[in-house]
Amino acid sequence: MAEPANPAAGPVLRFSKMHGAGNDFVVLDLRGGIAAPSPEKCRALGDRHRGVGCDQILTVEDPREPGSVASYGIWNADGSPAGQCGNGARCIAAWLVRDGAAPATGAFNLDSPNGTHVVDRHDDGGVRVVMGVPEFEPERIPLRGFDAVREAYVLPVRGSIISVGAVSMGNPHALIEVDDVGTVTVELMGQGLQQHAAFPQSVNVGFAQVVARDHIRLRVYERGVGETLACGSGACAAVAILGRRGRVDREVRVSLPGGDLCIAWPADDAPMTMTGPATFVFEGEWMA
């Protein structure tokens, strides 16, 4: 017997559940000027026990720039906004192609919270996103306490002295190079860096193991979420930092717990590109 309708419930909110290499999203269509979800609604949607469950909520919105197909917003599961999400960009691109708003072949422009990105689909269903040029200047990350770019920044974190790389990919990233990502206390060190005064906007924390010059393993503890199965901007950040150190080549396979991403950085002053999967999981309706 069907449950009776709840007269106190709001309108039905239609959504798509998607993931990019395990980094999972609830996608909402807000085109036409529909208001963005409140932090409370984002937290309710992101709850894996009482809501839909996701790392981030992605909102499809009207384009901001001439020539763009659409724009998108990013909201972490804790309700906080985010400036960039590479896996999310691929999923939004695939969603727009399925919707008919973007071409099935060829490149098109997509506006993120921090700029416009060129995206295109591959024949195998993978999506390539132009992610932008890495920003290493401390004030651009932002990173306090340092007035010049360094290969590594030494910081006290929870009773230990650690060495980190730092970069912005439209959002702040710190990277710790380790011998084995499987043995790292990701949550402990991730939370310590996120709460550090050197990162006034908090930070996404990556832990990278160099396997070969064209292959690394990576785990990422994200702002507002915790450890995720994949982080596209984190993969770019890791390759950028390790590339500046001479540890990896210009094209690198990044193996994350949820799958592999291919990152290319043709030159120091060139934008990075990221290629990876974008997968539809299910369609649903949620009582807002």
- Is 223 annotated among the ligand-binding residues? yes
CA distance 182 to 101: 41
Mean pLDDT of 52-70: 97
The gap from C-alpha 77 to its chain's centroid, in whole angstroms, comes to 12
- Place 258 in a pLDDT band, splitting at 50, 70 and 90: very high
Q: Each residue of 39-49: pLDDT tens digit? A: 999 999 999 99
Q: What pLDDT shows up at residue 3? A: 44
**CATH superfamily of the domain spanning 12-130+277-287:** Diaminopimelate Epimerase; Chain A, domain 1 (3.10.310.10)
Mean pLDDT of 108-121: 95
CA distance 148 to 223: 25
CA distance 37 to 54: 15
Q: What pLDDT shows up at residue 4? A: 43
Q: What pLDDT shows up at residue 80? A: 95
Q: Which residues pair with 254 in a beta bridge?
A: 216, 261
Residue 5 has pLDDT above 90, yes or no: no
CA distance 190 to 205: 6
CA distance 162 to 270: 30
Is pTM, for the whole model, over 0.95? Answer: no
Q: Quickly list H helices, the chain.
A: 39-46, 86-99, 186-194, 232-244
Q: What pLDDT shows up at residue 10? A: 58
Active site residue 91: no
Q: Quickly list H helices, 136-256.
A: 186-194, 232-244
Active site residue 236: no
Tell me the torsion sign for CA atoms 135, 59, 40, 47: negative
Residue 208 CB neighbours (<10 A) = 27
Which residues of the chain are in CATH 3.10.310.10 domains? Answer: 12-130+277-287, 138-270
Residue 2 has pLDDT above 90, yes or no: no
Q: Which residues pair with 119 in a beta bridge?
A: 108, 129
- Is 114 annotated among the ligand-binding residues? no
- Is 20 annotated among the ligand-binding residues? no
- Place 8 in a pLDDT band, splitting at 50, 70 and 90: very low
Architecture of domain 138-270 in this structure: Roll (3.10)
Residue 11 has pLDDT above 80, yes or no: no
Q: What pLDDT shows up at residue 189? A: 94
- Is 125 annotated among the ligand-binding residues? no
The three-class DSSP label of residue 76 is strand
Q: How confident is the prediction for the chain on average, in pLDDT? A: 94
Residue 207 has pLDDT above 70, yes or no: yes
- Is 226 annotated among the ligand-binding residues? no
- Place 121 in a pLDDT band, splitting at 50, 70 and 90: confident
In the set 42, 91, 231, 236, the catalytic residue is 231
In the set 54, 85, 91, 236, the catalytic residue is 85
CA distance 229 to 265: 23
